[in-house]
Amino acid sequence: MGGLTEIRERMMAAAGRAGRDPAAIRLVAVTKTATPEAIVAAYRGGQRDFGENRADRLAAGAALLPDARWHMIGRLQGNKVRVVRKATALLHSLDRPELVEYWAAGDAVPPPVLIQVNVGEDPEKAGVAVGAAGRLADLAVDRGLEVRGLMTIPPLTPDPEDARVHFRALAGLRDRLREAHPTLVDLSMGMTDDFEVAIEEGATLLRVGRAIFGEFEENRG
């Protein structure tokens, strides 16, 4: 897939500019409106991490490619947790105490999570406030969840550079929270329009869909 190859090349270049190891940055291909054929083609092209923001599509994708790693990146309702929990490798969107309780329930060990933080204080975006992220991390750990890091979706802007301040803020918050929770390593940030800036600011997980699968709006909720 040409789009996938181009994204990987741009990732390598951005990592080089930032003096980072490209192997430390994982590309999550967002399949939001991709056809099954396009998803399989990406898998055949070497892509192994895929992201979805809807529970039903994630379950369908996991059934289509059970050997891939599926990431839940969208806002998750409590009544969909059971569907997602058994099919996902990583939940990017832990954003409230109620979801902690849902995710922790059950006999099986739950998949690891990222805490979604609304660093831009955008009323149109989901995510816990910056000042409440530590309390949510404490609760998640107390309930036995493995919290691997943080995720954010910056306010929509035509200039990718405008996202830099939000990515930098998330990285700083991650560093502060790691003092109490050493497992907080990952930063899920950066999409089609701003992933290179995100790499320069320390992203370890990129959520890119439109540049791989064609024109659609990636999860901005």
3-state secondary structure 153-212: CCCCCCCHHHHHHHHHHHHHHHHHHCCCCCCCCEEECCCCCCHHHHHHCCCCEEEECHHH
pLDDT, position 63: 97
- Look up residue 137 and give its DSSP letter: H
How many C-alpha atoms does 66 have within 13 Å on its Cβ side?
A: 2
The per-residue pLDDT for range 42-60, each reduced to its tens digit, is: 999 999 999 999 999 999 9
Q: What is the pLDDT along the chain (221 residues), one digit of tens a residue?
A: 568 999 999 999 999 999 999 999 999 999 998 999 999 999 999 999 999 999 999 999 999 999 999 999 999 999 999 999 999 999 999 999 999 999 999 888 999 999 999 999 988 889 999 999 999 999 999 999 999 999 999 998 889 999 999 999 999 999 999 999 999 999 999 999 999 999 999 999 999 999 999 864 444 44
- The pTM is what? 0.94
Do 119 and 166 form a contact (C-beta atoms < 8 A)?
A: yes
Q: Under CATH, to which class is 2-213 assigned?
A: alpha beta
Report how far residue 173's alpha carbon sits from residue 59's, in angstroms, rounded to the nearest whole number. 32
